Homo-oligomer: A and B are copies of this chain.
Amino acid sequence: MPLYTAGSLKSELNDRGWRLTPQREVILHVFQNLARGKHLSAEDLYNLLQNEGEQISLSTIYRTLKLMARMGILRELELAEGHKHYEINQPYPYHHHHLICVRCNKTIEFKNDSILKTGTKTAKKEGYHLLDCQMTIHAVCPTCQRALLPI
């Protein structure tokens, strides 16, 4: 899980016969400058770029998010039903995990260094090349516990 710059992204892409496009650079930049604790869906990213005057099609957004997740640059998160969220994939000491309320989707980030260690060790043991490891806690938040039993 290295930290990417526009330059290192370009070389990693070119090494595989792929290309660095302005769209990819812009999207990486958005995630690199996203506030801690923020997570973007494809639609979120699309709207954010629209508001900044960047014209990147939704198709390209989807393709780029998938590509960068497969490269280990972004993390793909299941924070809500029906669509994915993304954030930059950072190593220690920024590596963190998520506690999610399954009813209202309120999300709390937490850290635990032993998880990344376990992930690294387990992947290595099986000969896998690690891209990301994440712990997800599904639970019901205090507010939703008090609400009267809707599922």
Contacts and interface: CB of A to CB of B under 8 A. Distances in A.
Contact of A136 (B16, B136, B138): B136
Interface in A88-106: 99, 101-103
Contacts of A139: 123, 128-131
Interface string A68-105: 01100000101000000000000000000001011100
A126 interface: yes
A127 interface: yes
A26 interface: no
Most buried by B among A66, A102, A145: A102
Nearest to A144: B129
Contact of A119 (B16, B101, B102, B137): B137
Interface stretch (A2-10, A35-43, A46-54, A108-116): A108-116
B135 A115 contact: yes
A57 interface: no
Given A128-B140, A128-B142, A142-B128, A135 B119 contact: yes
A14 to B, nearest CB: 12
Nearest to A77: B78
Interface of A: 16-17, 66-67, 69-70, 76, 78, 99, 101-103, 108, 110, 112, 114-115, 118-119, 122-123, 126-142, 145, 149, 151
